[in-house]
Structure formats: structure tokens, C-alpha cells
A = this chain, B = another copy of it.
């Protein structure tokens, strides 16, 4: 039985429901950030991240830094691009736009390719852009939390490597890591930035990322000074390497409690079986949800099935029903969904996050409860399914 008190089931696209063991790790007694026990835990956590990202290349460098997922954009923008350099941002919603904003703050010259709302820039269009200009970097939002649009990475990576092999490929994996498959080495990615509170299943407060040896080399050979102090990779790289080598090190005080919780979350993920099974489970549950949404006569914001995330579903409401009606009706049934945040369509849709324990532990019944609650909430507001 859960040690958590009864509470509404949180099914937004992050934060998600957390395992009891993860929450217990959050209340770990106080330790020095340079004590051997904690140094070992932090070091192990970095090594576990390598497994989660499926990288065995020793040149890859994981980072865990106190902050929000947003901090990952600063890491990329302040360290891997120099002022005036060109970046191609593939945008599938709110978060692609924001990544572009972050890049501009640090002086990047940003070109955005935007899919229509609920769609993504297509490969031929990307190929054309890559042939027109030499880009230092391409960024892509793996799953845009505002739309649920999934950008597939292997084909994109193949394209970038073929047409513009020197260009770095950076993935915003905030709403995908640990829910959607990512093979960092095999797919030749140069960076993935994410956060703790989504499919990884650890409370918010950690910026988590991994960068390739090629990306680190880019940092090492840059001419302009790094544009941030707290987000300076030059400051953090020795710290991360020392922790992973089980040596104490200091730049800024990490959060021992959050690191313990992340360690627990990663151990649970990796002990549960091959990662491929975890991703398959997320896909299976997502398919079931999408089928149920269709059976209710509702459309998704991500219109093409091949572009639909397995971590969340953004659902257009019937025209007669407002998000401000359906969300409270869900809450009455102890289910928490999120409202829309894509500027152009915000009031017209809701977001259902399905990641982590709500997906992997069927005994919880979270998904079935949520589907039933959605149907009831719509019915309560006069909707009749077709």
C-alpha cells in the first residue's frame, strides 16, 4: 500500500505521480555535499543516467544541476553557440518558441521552422534549410509539452549528419526522456536536456542533461567567453567528472535530497527490466488512451498518428465545452489534467500526461480511472459521444 495520503491523481505532462520510495528519498537526513556517502550517491546517479540515455561513449558527459528544465536551454545557448552563429530551431509548439528565445538571449542567430499547430516541420523542408545555410546547431523538441507532437529523432539525425555533418543536433527531451526511446550513441545525438519531474519520476528541481564528446569539444574550442556563470559548462564539467570518479568537488551546492530521489527513481527504472520494455509499455498505454479519446469522438492536437507522443495526449474539447468546465469536473473525480498552453488554441484543449508509475504500475488503475473520469466529465457538461 502507498505510504502517500489519498490525493488527486496527477496526470498532467509533469510533474507526474511519484513512487513511494522516491518520495521517501526526498526526506533523507542532511548530509554534506562533499561527504563520501553523498559523493558516492551523486557519482552513481551520473553513471545511471548514462544507462538511461543508452550511451557507453566515455566522452559523453551527463550533468545534474539544481534548476528547472528551462535551465537546460541556458546550458545549450550559453555554452555551445557563440554570438552571431546560426541555429535552426525546429518548433512544434510553445517550448520550441521558448528554446528559440533562450538561444537569442545569448546571441544566437535563430531560424525557426514551425509546423502548423499540431504538426512538425517535415524532413524535405529541413533538408532545404540545411542546404541554404551552414548551421552551428539544430534543436528539436522531442515531445512538445504544449501540443503532444512527437519529433522522431533517428531520421532527423540521419538527415543532419548527411547534409550538414558538422552541425550539432540538440534535443529538448523534457517531456520525453524515460518515456520515449532515446539511444544517445546510436542516434548520434549531441545533447539532450531534460528535467526530473516528468517520465524520470523524481520531484522537480533538477536540470538533467547529457552532451556528446563533440559538443564538449565545441565548448572547448569556442572563442567567445561562455555567456553564463551558473550555467557555465566549464564550471560544471570538472564537478560532474569528480563526482562520477567519487571525488568531492565544489562549484555550487547540489541538493542531496533531490539527488537521492533521482538516484532512487533511476534505480527503479533500470531494475524493472530492459528499457525497451519501458518504452513499449508507454507506447501501449498511450495507444490505449488515444483509442479511448477517438472512441469519445475527440480529436488530438497532434493530428498525425506518427507524430503523437507516447508520454501525453493533447485533446481538443468538443466545441460546446470549455476547459474551465471539464478540468473542475475531472478534479471532482480526483483526476488532474492540465489546460492548454499553446497560444493559438489554449482554451480549446486539455492535456493528459501518461508517464512513469501511472503507466508502469497497472495496479494503480490511474489510466482507466482517468479515461472514465474524462467521459463522465464531458457527459456532465452535456456532451454525447457519437
Contacts and interface: CB of A to CB of B under 8 A. Distances in A.
Contacts of A227: 105, 227-228
Interface stretch (A18-26, A304-312, A374-382): A18-26
Contacts of A164: none
A10 interface: yes
A198 to B, nearest CB: 9
Given A17-B30, A105-B228, A203 B255 contact: yes
Interface string A202-220: 0111000000000000000
A200 interface: no
Interface in A1-33: 4-5, 7, 10, 12, 14-18, 23-24, 26-33
Contacts of A26: 26-27, 257
Interface stretch (A48-56, A65-73, A276-284, A318-326): A65-73
A30 B68 CA distance: 16
A252 B68 contact: yes
Interface stretch (A84-92, A150-158, A229-237, A295-303): A229-237
A93 interface: no
Contacts of A96: none
Given A4-B29, A32-B338, A231-B230, A70 B252 contact: yes
A316 interface: no
A106 interface: yes
Given A69-B253, A204-B256, A229-B74, A27 B23 contact: yes
A294 to B, nearest CB: 26
A23 B29 contact: yes
Interface of A: 4-5, 7, 10, 12, 14-18, 23-24, 26-35, 65-71, 73-74, 77-78, 101-102, 105-106, 195, 197, 203-205, 225-232, 250-258, 336, 338, 341
A105 to B, nearest CB: 4
A28 to B, nearest CB: 8
The A interface is mostly helix, strand or loop, or mixed, namely loop
Number of chain copies forming the complex: 2
B4 A226 contact: no
A283 B68 CA distance: 36
A349 to B, nearest CB: 16
Nearest to A20: B27
Given A4-B29, A26-B26, A77-B229, A251 B70 contact: yes
11 contacts: A7-B31, A15-B30, A23-B29, A26-B257, A35-B336, A66-B68, A66-B71, A70-B253, A105-B227, A203-B255, A203-B257
A164 to B, nearest CB: 26
A229 B106 contact: yes
Contacts of A106: 229
A380 to B, nearest CB: 20
Nearest to A101: B229
Contacts of A15: 30-33, 253, 256
A23 B255 CA distance: 13
A83 to B, nearest CB: 11
A225 B106 CA distance: 10
A230 B105 CA distance: 10
Contacts of A7: 29-31
A197 B257 CA distance: 11
Most chain B C-beta atoms within 10 Å of own C-beta, residue among A23, A232, A253: A253
